Structure 1
C-alpha cells in the first residue's frame, strides 16, 4: 500500500472518468463559487470567514456525496445516472452537512494547537465521509469508526493527503498571484475558483482508494 501507488491508481481513475466526474460535480461547484462571490461582495473584505464555511457546508456535501457514490458504483462495475446520484446525495445532505461541520470544527481546533495536531486530526477523520455515505453510519459513529479504522495507517494516510494537497495548494496560490481576486473580472475569478475546487476532488478519489485498501484486506494483499 505504497502512497505513490495509491495516488497513481487514483489519478488513472480520475483521468479515465474525468468527463463523468465533471458532469456530476461541476454544476454544484460553480454554484458554490458563485455563492462565495455573492457573500464576499455583500460582506466586504472584512467579512467573517464563517460565511465561507457556511457556504461550503451548503454545497460540499452535495457534490462530495455524489462523487463518493459514483466512486463506489464504478468500483462495482455499475454506471448510475447523474440525476440518480444527485438524488441520493440530496437525501444524504442533512447528515453529511452535520458530519462536515463536525470534521471542520475538529480540524480547526487541531490547527489552532499548531499545524501538526491539525494534520493528525485530518488523517484520523479521513475515512469518516466514506463510512457515513457507504455504510450509513451516523456522523458521530462515522468519526469514531474512522479513528479506529485509521489505526496503524497514520503516516500512509498523511503521505497520501500531502502528496495531493501540497501541489493543489501551490496551484491555488499561483493562480491567486497571477490573477488576484481583488478587483479582477468576476467571471474569470469564477472560472478559476471553480477549477481549483474541482481539482480538490482528486483528494476524495485518493482517499476512497485508500479507504478500500484499508477496509478490504483482500485488496491490500493484491498490491
Structure 2
C-alpha cells in the first residue's frame, strides 16, 4: 500500500552535516524548505517503485496487452488517419462514425492509444533483466535542490575536475549528505553517479519531468 506522506527528519546533527558539506548556515525555515523537497521526491519515487512491482506491474502489463489489441482493432482507422495504404476504407469510416456518435475525437483517440502503448513498452524494456530502470525523478530533484542551494547562500552548483580528473562539487557534497535521509531503496548508487548526472544537465535538451505539489 502506497503512503500518503513520508516524513524526513533533520535533527541538529544532520543539520550540522549539511552546513559543513554545503558550506552553509541553514535557518529553521531553510531546513523546512529542504525537508519539503526531499519528502516530495521520496513520495514520488516510492510510488513509482510500487507501480513497477507486484500486482501493479501485472496490471500495467494487462493494460499494455489490451491497448495493443485496441490498436489492432482500430488498425484501419489508424491507417486512414495517417494516410497509409493499404487499409479497409469502409471499416475505417465505420470506426470513425462510431467514435463520432460516442462523442470521441478519432484523431485524439488513436494518438493517445499510440502514446500509451509506446510508454508502456518503454517501461517494460527498461525493466527487462540486465537493465536498470531509469529514475525519472533524480533530475527534477537535483534542479529543485540547486535552486534551494543558491537561495540558501551556496556559491556554485557547478561540477569541476581536479588534477586527477575526479569530479568535485560542493553542491553535490551537500546533496549527497541530504539523500542519506532517504530509505536505502530511494538513494542513488554513489556520489560519483550523482555528480555525473548533474554534470550532464548542462548538455541536456529534453524537458524536465513535472513534479506535482502537495496541497
TM-score by length of 2: 0.32
TM-score by length of 1: 0.31
More helix by share: 1
